Amino acid sequence: MTQLKIGDKAPNFSLPDQHGNTVKLSQLKGQSVVVYFYPKADTPGCTTQSCAVRDARPQFKKIKAAVFGVSPDAPARQAKFDEKYELGFPLLADTEHAMAEAYGVWGEKVNYGKKYMGIIRSAFVIDEKGKIAGAKYKISPKDTTSWALEVLEGLNG
């Protein structure tokens, strides 16, 4: 699993969100982007992480940063997650985990001694030029928003 570093070109993506709209990184040039990966919609850690992002949306909007959550869940499951917690931002369905692989967040995990492949919770900040401005692998659900806002403030400050 190759991990992205600051200064790397962000891998492009084109994925459906929870409403069936296609979101492409190439359409977001000229704007900062926060992308966070979570293992599964409506699980405790993922809910904590996504609700914290929801609650920080005014701060992200103020600095004109787009925010996207990404998991292997299908759009319908993402939509239920969005509706249940009133998240209000795009949740991308990476059902084939191609984006997760491109960002180096698809890897081996262990749960109760069982090994399997899945999302390694991570977050990225992409600058206006499409370069990685921040990459945090194995991020805590509680730290995602504070970390992303700190990186964004560094870009804008």
For residue 92, the enclosing domain spans: 14-156
67 three-state secondary structure? strand
Question: Has residue 69 been placed in a domain?
Answer: yes
Question: Has residue 128 been placed in a domain?
Answer: yes
pLDDT of residue 157: 61
Tell me which of 15, 41, 46, 100 is the catalytic residue: 46
- CATH number of the domain to which 55 belongs: 3.40.30.10
Q: How confident is the model at residue 145 (pLDDT cuts 50, 70, 90)?
A: very high
Q: Does residue 5 register a pLDDT over 70?
A: yes
Mean pLDDT of 14-21: 97
* Total structural domains within the chain: 1
> How long is the chain?
157
Question: Has residue 1 been placed in a domain?
Answer: no
Question: Has residue 141 been placed in a domain?
Answer: yes
> Is 51 labeled as catalytic in the residue annotation?
no
Q: At what angle do helices 144-156 and 44-55 cross, to 10 degrees?
A: 40
pLDDT digits (tens, 9 = 90+) for 91-120: 999 999 999 999 999 999 988 999 999 999
Question: Has residue 2 been placed in a domain?
Answer: no
Considering the chain, what is the average pLDDT of its residues?
95
